[in-house]
């Protein structure tokens, strides 16, 4: 069994597209996944499965649509992939200045080179980003309400769905997946 992390895009935000974590956990268990754990209301599920990413993602997205009546994009990472995401961070999480915030946008798929070029041409100052594989590391130097570096910008420039999590959430999910993986 592979330990996986499912990160749901755009649920439980502003009272829209509501999914209770208890219902989500029960759905994952009904799909036959092992060790299902959820973390906070933004749609994070740690679980074990014996499927490859594409069919696994499709099965989860189809079941969520059937259960909730609306589509939800899911970004999947294995425990090892999430550990690499944390290790590869180009910004120093422990050296953030007051008011700075570190996030990672997890992409559902790898963006094409043309999408990366469009993203690199974006003006996002004073905020910074780095595209590394299927992740975009986001360093917000101001309030997220004031940034131009939004999921909408990422998706329109990169051409793939994205869901963002703050650094604390990612490191917590990595710790949960490490425990579930028995490491």
Q: Please name each of the domains of the chain with its CATH number.
A: 2-83+172-181 (3.30.70.1280), 85-166 (3.30.70)
Residue 149 has which token pair? 């570096």
Eight-class DSSP state of 95: G
pLDDT tens-digit readout, 86-135: 999 999 999 999 999 999 999 999 999 999 999 999 999 999 999 999 99
> What are the two backbone dihedrals, phi and then psi, of residue 32, each rounded to the nearest 5 degrees?
95, 15
Distance CA(119)–CA(114), nearest Å, equals: 9
Residue position matching structure tokens 């579930």: 180
Distances (CA, A) of 157 to 112, 121, 126: 10, 9, 19
> What are the two backbone dihedrals, phi and then psi, of residue 66, each rounded to the nearest 5 degrees?
-65, -40
The predicted structure's pLDDT at residue 18: 76
The predicted structure's pLDDT at residue 171: 97
The predicted structure's pLDDT at residue 17: 75
Strands (DSSP E) along the chain, which ranges? 2-8, 34-39, 44-49, 74-78, 101-107, 128-132, 135-140, 162-166
Instruction: Give residue 12's pLDDT band: very low, low, confident or very high (50, 70, 90).
Output: low
Closest of 35, 32, 40 to residue 63, by C-alpha: 32
The predicted structure's pLDDT at residue 159: 97
Residue 111 has which token pair? 């963006």
Distance CA(99)–CA(104), nearest Å, equals: 17
Distance CA(81)–CA(174), nearest Å, equals: 10
Mean pLDDT of 38-62: 94
pLDDT tens-digit readout, 51-60: 999 999 999 9
With residue 116 as reference, give the H or E element that holds it. Answer: helix 113-120
What percent of the chain lies above the pLDDT cut of 90?
A: 83
Closest of 118, 142, 141, 119 to residue 130, by C-alpha: 119
């Amino acid at each position: 069994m592979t330990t996986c992390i499912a990160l749901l895009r755009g649920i439980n935000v502003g009272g829209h597209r509501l999914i209770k974590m208890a219902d989500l956990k029960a759905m994952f268990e009904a799909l036959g996944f092992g060790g299902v754990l959820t973390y906070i209301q933004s749609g994070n599920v740690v679980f074990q499965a014996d499927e490859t990413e594409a069919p696994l993602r499709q099965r989860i997205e189809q079941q969520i649509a059937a259960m909730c009546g609306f589509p939800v994009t899911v970004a999947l990472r294995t425990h090892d992939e999430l550990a690499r995401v944390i290790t590869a961070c180009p910004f120093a999480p422990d050296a953030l200045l007051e008011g700075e915030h570190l996030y990672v946008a997890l992409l559902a798929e790898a963006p094409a080179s043309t999408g990366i070029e469009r993203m690199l041409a974006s003006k996002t100052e004073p905020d910074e980003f780095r595209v590394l594989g299927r992740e975009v590391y986001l360093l917000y130097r101001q309030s997220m309400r004031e940034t131009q570096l939004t999921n909408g910008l990422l998706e329109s420039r990169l051409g793939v769905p994205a869901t963002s999590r703050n650094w604390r959430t990612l490191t917590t999910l990595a710790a949960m997946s490490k425990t579930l993986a028995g490491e």
